[in-house]
Amino acid sequence: MRVSVLLSVLLGAALALPAALPAQDLRQSVETYVGATQKEILSKLMAALRFPAVAADEVNIRRKARYLRDELAQRGLISEILETNGNPLVYGNLSVPGASRTLLLYCHYDGQPVDPAKWRQADPFQPVMMDGQLSHDSQLIDFESAESFDDDWRIYARSASDDTAPIIGLLTALDALKAAGIPLSSNIKVILDGEEEDGSPSLVAAIERYRDRLDADLLLIFDGPLHQSDRPTVVFGARGIMAVDLTVFGPWAPLHSGHYGNWAPNPAMQLAQLLASMKDAEGRVLLEGFYDGIEFTPDDQRVLDAVPDNLEKLKTVLGFSQPDRVGNSLQEAIQYPSLNIRGLESGWVGAEARTIVPGRAIAAIDIRLVKETKPDDIYAKLITHIERQGFHIVAEDPDDVVRAEHGRIVKVIRRGSMNAYRTDLNNPLARRVVAAINAVWDGPIVQKRTSGGTVPIAPFIEALDIPALGIPTVNFDNNQHGPDENVRLGHFFDSIVTFAAIFTM
Q: Which of residues 344-383 bind its own copies (CB under 8 A)?
A: 344-350, 352-358, 361-364, 366, 368
Q: 108 pairs with which residues across the strands?
A: 193
Among 15, 20, 341, 380, binds its own copies (CB under 8 A): 341
Contact 339, 287 (CB under 8 A): yes
The Cα–Cα gap between 75 and 92 comes to 10
Stretch that binds its own copies, among 153-161, 195-203, 240-248, 433-441 (CB under 8 A): 240-248
3-state secondary structure of 364: strand
Tell me the one-letter amino acid at 79. Answer: S
99 or 272, CB closer to its own copies?
Answer: 272
24 or 316, CB closer to its own copies?
Answer: 316
Residue 228 near its own copies by CB under 8 A: no
Minimum Å gap between C-beta 344 and its own copies is: 4
181 or 319, CB closer to its own copies?
Answer: 319
Minimum Å gap between C-beta 15 and its own copies is: 32
Among 245, 300, 372, 377, binds its own copies (CB under 8 A): 245
Among 132, 251, 444, 483, binds its own copies (CB under 8 A): 251
DSSP string, 8-65: HHHHT--SS---SS-HHHHHHHHHHHHHHHHHHHHHHHHHHHTS--BTT-HHHHHHHH
* Per-residue binding letters, 429-458, with its own copies (x by CB under 8 A): ----------------------xxxx----
Distances (CA, A) of 259 to 139, 354, 356: 65, 14, 9
3-state secondary structure of 189: strand
Stretch that binds its own copies, among 27-35, 44-52, 339-347, 438-446 (CB under 8 A): 339-347
The Cα–Cα gap between 223 and 164 comes to 9
Minimum Å gap between C-beta 383 and its own copies is: 19
Number of residues that bind its own copies (CB under 8 A): 86
Tell me the one-letter amino acid at 89. Answer: L
Stretch that binds its own copies, among 11-19, 28-36, 66-74, 243-251 (CB under 8 A): 243-251
Among 117, 147, 148, 320, binds its own copies (CB under 8 A): 320
The Cα–Cα gap between 79 and 73 comes to 6
Minimum Å gap between C-beta 116 and its own copies is: 22
DSSP string, 128-185: EEESSSSSSS--B--GGG-----TT-EEESTTIIIIIHHHHHHHHHHHHHHHHTPPPS
Distance in Å from the first CA to the final CA of the chain: 24
* Per-residue binding letters, 382-401, with its own copies (x by CB under 8 A): --------x---------x-
The count of other CB atoms within 10 Å of the CB of residue 136 is 4
245 or 372, CB closer to its own copies?
Answer: 245
Among 146, 179, 180, 243, binds its own copies (CB under 8 A): 243
Minimum Å gap between C-beta 486 and its own copies is: 19
Minimum Å gap between C-beta 178 and its own copies is: 38
67 or 296, CB closer to its own copies?
Answer: 296
98 or 319, CB closer to its own copies?
Answer: 319
Distances (CA, A) of 56 to 161, 198, 204, 234, 466: 19, 9, 19, 31, 30
Q: Kind and range of the H or E element at 402?
A: helix 400-405
Minimum Å gap between C-beta 39 and its own copies is: 36
Among 45, 326, 487, 489, binds its own copies (CB under 8 A): 326
451 or 473, CB closer to its own copies?
Answer: 451
Phi (first) and psi of residue 288, to 5 degrees? -60, 125
Stretch that binds its own copies, among 65-73, 184-192, 333-341, 495-503 (CB under 8 A): 333-341
Minimum Å gap between C-beta 126 and its own copies is: 29
Residues 256-295 that bind its own copies (CB under 8 A): 256-266, 268-269, 271-273, 275-279, 281, 283
The Cα–Cα gap between 330 and 424 comes to 20
Minimum Å gap between C-beta 286 and its own copies is: 11
326 or 445, CB closer to its own copies?
Answer: 326
The Cα–Cα gap between 358 and 346 comes to 6
Asked whether the CA dihedral 326, 327, 331, 336 is positive or negative, the reply is: negative
CA angle centred on 197, ends 191 and 202, rounded to 5°: 55
Residues 171-190 that bind its own copies (CB under 8 A): none
238 or 468, CB closer to its own copies?
Answer: 238
11 or 269, CB closer to its own copies?
Answer: 269
Distances (CA, A) of 211 to 18, 81, 195, 311, 465: 32, 15, 19, 43, 11
Among 54, 241, 457, 474, binds its own copies (CB under 8 A): 241
